[in-house]
Each structure stands twice: as C-alpha cells, then as structure tokens.
Amino acid sequence: MLTMLPVWDVVGNAPDMVAGVLPLTVLWSYAAFTLNFILAIVVYFTQFRPWAEHAERLSDEADPATRDDYRAATSRVGEGDK
Amino acid sequence: MSGITIGAIVGIIAYLAIIFLIGSWAYRRNIKGDLADQYLVGRGLNPFVLIGTLFATWFSTFAFLGGPGTYYLTGVNWLLFGFFNSMGPVLIWVFGSRMWALGRKYGYITPGDLLAGYYDGSRRVRMLSAIVGIAVLFPYAAIQLSGIAKAVAGATDNFVPYQAGILIVAVSVGLYSIFGGSRAVVWTDVIQGFIFALVLLVTAILVVGWSGGWAEGWSRTVQTSSEKLLFTGDTSGAYFTVMLLWTFGWVLTPHLWQRMYMARSPKVMAVSMVFASGLSLWVVTFSGAVIGFLAMGLFPQIPQGFDTDALTPLLYREFLPIGAVALVVATFAAGMSTLDSQVLSGSSIFTLDLYRESRRSASNMSLSRVGRFFEAVFVVGLVLFALFPASQALIIPLASVGVGFGLVFLMPLIGALYWPRASEAAAFWSMTCGFGVMLLLQLVPAVGEPLPFSYGPPAWGFFVSVAVFYVVSYMTQPVSERSRDLHHGYLETVFPSRRRRAVPGFVTTSHR
C-alpha cells in the first residue's frame, strides 16, 4: 500500500531532490521496497527459520522418494489401490 | 577488425571455455538413469548454488539491457519492477516450502507431477499443465536466443553475425545441458549470475562517475527529465499486470517451479528466500534504476539509430568503449543462464508429462535418454524459430505474454497445497479457460484492444481462472480422500501449526 501511494498521487509523487540523495518519488519507492524487504526478513526469522529447523529431519529421509510413493501419489483414483 | 571486436571474441571464447569445463565436470559426476539427478541435481543444492541459480534463471538479458532502457523511457512508472521482483522470493516461503516437501516425499520433478498428483492422477490436468508449461518456456527461450545473438552482433560490429550468434549459443547451451544435465545448468548459472550481476553493479558505479557524482547526476536528471520522475497515475492496471507476472513468476514458471524441488534441506530454502529477495532488489533493480535515471542527465534524447534497449551499450560506446567486451560476455551469461534452465525444464515436461504418459512402463534409463533427445529437439526448434523471420511474427506476441501463462497454475497449486475443497474439474477448467482467454486477448487484437482498466491479457486470464476455479470447485466433488490425505495430510505433519479446514468426508491418517 505504501508503494502505491505515490502512484495514486496521494503522497510522495514529486520530482524534487530530497537532501541531495534522491528525487522524492525514487526515494519514497525504494524506502517502501526496503520496508517490504525487512518484512521478508521478519518472516524469515519468525516463520521460515523455525519451520526449517523443525522440518530439517525431512532432508534425512530416503531421497528421492521411493518409486512406490510416486506411483501412489500420481496414479489415477483406484489405480493406486490395486 | 577493431580491438574491441577482438576483445569481445576473446572474451566469448574464454567464457565458453569455462562453461564447457563446468559441463564436463558435471557430466562425470552425473548419476546415469537417475531422473532426479538429471533434472533436479538430485535434490541436493546448497544455499550458494540455489541462490545463484534462482537469481540467474529469473533474470535474463532484460535485466541489464531492457531494464535500464525501460527506466530511461518510462521513468518512475517502471520502479515497481523492483518491488515485485523483490517480493517474489517471499513466495518461496508461501508456496516453495510446501512444493519442496511434497516433491521430496513423492519424487515430483515437473509442475505436472504435483498438480496431477494432487488431482487424483488426472491425465488431462497433467497434459494441460505440460502444454501451458511449454507455452511459457518456448517463446521466452526463443526470444532469449535471438536477444543474445542481436546484442552480440551489435557489440562486435556484426563480426559475429546474428545467425552465427544463434548457432554458437544454441550449440553451447545444447551441449552442456544435454551432457551435463541439471548439475551443469545450475553451476553455470552461478558463474553466469555472478558475471552479469558484477557487470551490472560496475556499470551503475561507472554511470555515477560519468554523471559527475551521485548528487550531481541526480540533479541533472531532475533538471532535464523531471516529468519522468512523476508517476502518471493512469497505469494502475498495467502495474497490477506486471505485479502478477513478476511476483508469481518466481514460483509459477516451470523452470523456477522446479528449483523449489532442488534444495537440499528446508534451511537452504529459507536462506535462499532472503538472499534472492535482497539481490533482486539491490543488485538488479536498483542498479538498473541508477543506470536508467542517470542516463537521462547524460542523454536527454537517445541518439538517432539507437533504441532504449541499447542504452547500456550506448553508455559504454560513449564513455568507455573497451567496456563493450565485458558487456558482450555479460549478455551471453545473462541470456544463457535463463535459456539453459528453460531447455532442461522443457525437456523434463516433454519426457515426464507427455512421453511417460504414453509409455508408463518405460524405465528410468530409457526416460533419461528420451529426455536428452527432447533437449536436442527443443534446441533445434528454438534455432528454427530464431532464424526465420516469419516465425518471429508468431513468437513475439506469445513471448510478451509468456510468463503470464504461468499464472493459470496458481489456483490449482493453491488447491493442491492449501484448499481441500478444490476439485479436479476446477483445476482443469480454470487452467483451460484462463489460458484460452490469455491466448485470445493476446493473439486476436480485435478482441484484446482496448482492455478495460488497462489490465493486460495475463491479468484477465488470471481473473477468469480464479472465478472458474472457485465456481467449479463448489459445483463438483473435491479430490479423493486418499489424495487429500497424501498431500494435505502429509503437509499437516510437516507444518504442524497449520489448521485444516473442514471438508465433509475428510479423514486424517498419520504420516511418518
């Protein structure tokens, strides 16, 4: 939503340089993008990494999956039970 | 022959020598007759290689030729290119982790494996996903091939003509993909990704210098092109379409989808998500933006005889002619890293989704040989399309919507990973209708112009696929209890906090 505010001309849609760093539109957009990137890092620490540690045991299982597992999963209904 | 042309040719030869060395190493390490090894590097990628191959596969020559040129042409209206590319890797968590878990459990290799697997082994879902997959891959790959050849012809003053460029790239990619398999493809991706990311970063730094410094360069851009630093506000529909393509393309295009299966462990997936997102935002898109915007101050008007895709070559030509050598090598690297993955992915789809369906008893060794044959066929097909102008007339409109075709996988994938109410008929008809609408709007201009709210054909096809998926799912029976248990039941054990929605007749059995 923050990203779209200048696109919708609500705020941040001006070409003026801000403190000699970047024009406002570019600065606003990349600040919003960076916030999203930070959000991705938060997701990593709160969701993804704990899951990855929990699921690490899966990578120790037989690999690749057994041919029987594959057939059971991809056979048409009824075929796999024969 | 100029010194730059000689340098470019030497650079190409050195680059190809490195790539062939990697291909030869991969060939010796490959496990013959192991399909997961041939197409997925045995599901054993470490974070370094997975990040490299994700990054290099997703970004093509467009990243440093078309990308900066589009910033130059359209200004801030193209900034969301950065946003969506950096958000895409977040989908590795939302979808990729589940795709990885199911792929590892059931040995899935293609997108069709997972979709057909969940939808009760549906042959029509598998066939359709294969057709859509090829429609995503083939035109895009053909455009890559011709793009590299054109760029190299331009950079070498036609010493390496277009046709020769096509053949050099096709033969190179064909050889190391066919003999080196996925191991060669992902390791060359790492090298190729490193080369083009480095060239992009260095180019951005050089452009800052050529502009007189950071503050001076941006001030000149503000003075000469302030109108390009304002959002015009009438492109929201186009933004939405681009958002869909660039965000979901990270997991829905077949060659990226298959990278979700390749990780060695969940931790590798987790780390790759963060780094791929950061690299996309700061290395590719921000560098591209700096080049494109600062070039506005350097060239208020693009010189006659050049188009904006040639902005980066033009900058080198003007300020550092010898840099064209690095640019040619980076063009090869960026294009080939995408092309090789597409060739491999196309081959796996032909072999496992189409050929194996007609030869269910085929051994893995036989499928492996057939896969290599299809890789050769795929490459020959690309060469023919790239060489004949008549075929380009068909391929260009298809390529422009190509990545968008992958959006029709989204709803069936959500069903397979999250939504037990989804039915086989819904998956099939949502893909059929969505794909049909995209093709119709793209190929029949009379139907497609003008599209309401400036949404493009991929967005309209996607809307149709969403509507059809939900309506048909509620009108028909969900997939069998057995399939739900094999997939959602298994994911329940992998993602323990996940709560399954109640579906009549749904019974969980334990998975170990």
- pLDDT of amino acid B142: 86
Running DSSP on this structure, what letter comes out for residue B481? Answer: H
Q: Which residues of B touch A53 (CB under 8 A)?
A: 266-267
Q: Is the pLDDT of residue A74 over 70?
A: no
CA nearest neighbour of B295 among B231, B230, B224, B197: B224
What pLDDT is recorded for position B287? 92
Asked whether the beta carbons of residue B117 and residue A74 sit closer than 8 angstroms, the reply is yes
Contact call for B104 and A70, based on CB within 8 A: no
Give the pLDDT band (50/70/90) at residue B261.
Answer: very high
Average pLDDT value for residue range B483-495: 89
Question: Among B60-69, B166-175, B442-451, which stretch is predicted with the lowest mean pLDDT?
Answer: B442-451
Amino acid at B157: D
Least confident of A69-73, B199-203, B404-408, B414-418: A69-73
Element (H, E) at A18: strand A17-18
Residue B242 burial (C-beta neighbours within 10 Å; 0-12, 13-18, 19+):
buried
**Residue that wins the pLDDT comparison between B510 and B29:** B29
Instruction: Of B497, B500, B476, give the one whose Cα is nearest residue B487.
Output: B500
Residue B97 burial by Cβ neighbours in a 10 Å radius (0-12, 13-18, 19+): buried
Burial environment of residue A47 by CB neighbours within 10 A (0 to 12, 13 to 18, 19 or more): middle
The yes-or-no verdict on residue A79 having pLDDT over 80 is no
Nearest to A6 among B36, B89, B231 (CB): B231
Write down the pLDDT at residue A82: 32
Does A38 lie at the interface with B, CB-CB under 8 angstroms?
Answer: no
B81 inside 8 A of chain A by CB: no
pLDDT at B505: 41
Give the pLDDT confidence score for residue B386 in this predicted structure.
85
The string of pLDDT tens digits covering residues B144-161 is 888 888 877 776 777 788
The 10 Å Cβ neighbour count of residue B364 is 15
Q: Is A28 on the interface with B (CB under 8 A)?
A: no
* Res. B116: pLDDT tops 50: yes
* Residue B317 in tokens: 């030509």
Q: How would residue B38 be classed by pLDDT, with cut points 50, 70 and 90? A: very high
Distance (Å, rounded) from C-alpha A40 to C-alpha B89? 9
Mean local confidence (pLDDT), B329-340: 85
Confidence of residue B88 (pLDDT cuts 50, 70, 90): confident
Span B180-206, average pLDDT = 91
- Tell me what the pLDDT averaged over chain B comes to: 86
Q: What is the pLDDT of residue B304?
A: 74
Closest-CA residue of A relative to B487 is A73
Q: For B368-410, write each residue's pLDDT tens digit.
A: 999 999 999 999 999 988 888 766 666 666 666 778 899 999 9
Please determine, for residue B233, whether its predicted confidence score (pLDDT) is greater than 90: no
Query: Count of alpha carbons within 13 Å of B217, Cβ hemisphere only?
Result: 22
Q: How far is A82 from chain B (nearest CA, A)?
A: 13
Count of all residues that appear for chain B in the document: 512
pLDDT at B7 over 60: yes
Q: What is the DSSP letter of B345?
A: H
Complete DSSP assignment for A22-71: EEHHHHHHHHHHHHHHHHHHHHIIIIIHHHHHHHGGGGGS-SS--HHHHH
pLDDT at residue number B46: 92
Q: Is A64 on the interface with B (CB under 8 A)?
A: yes
Residue A61 pLDDT: 56
ipTM of the complex: 0.78
Which whole number is the average pLDDT over B98-118?
A: 93
Judged against a pLDDT cut of 90, whether residue B308 lies above it is answered with: no
Q: For position A52, what pLDDT does the model report?
A: 82
Q: Does B496 touch chain A (CB under 8 A)?
A: yes
A50–chain B nearest CA distance, Å: 9
| Whether the Cβ atoms of residue B206 and residue B362 lie closer than 8 Å to each other | no
**What is the pLDDT, as a whole number, of residue A78?**
43
Does B440 reach chain A within 8 Å, measured CB to CB?
A: no
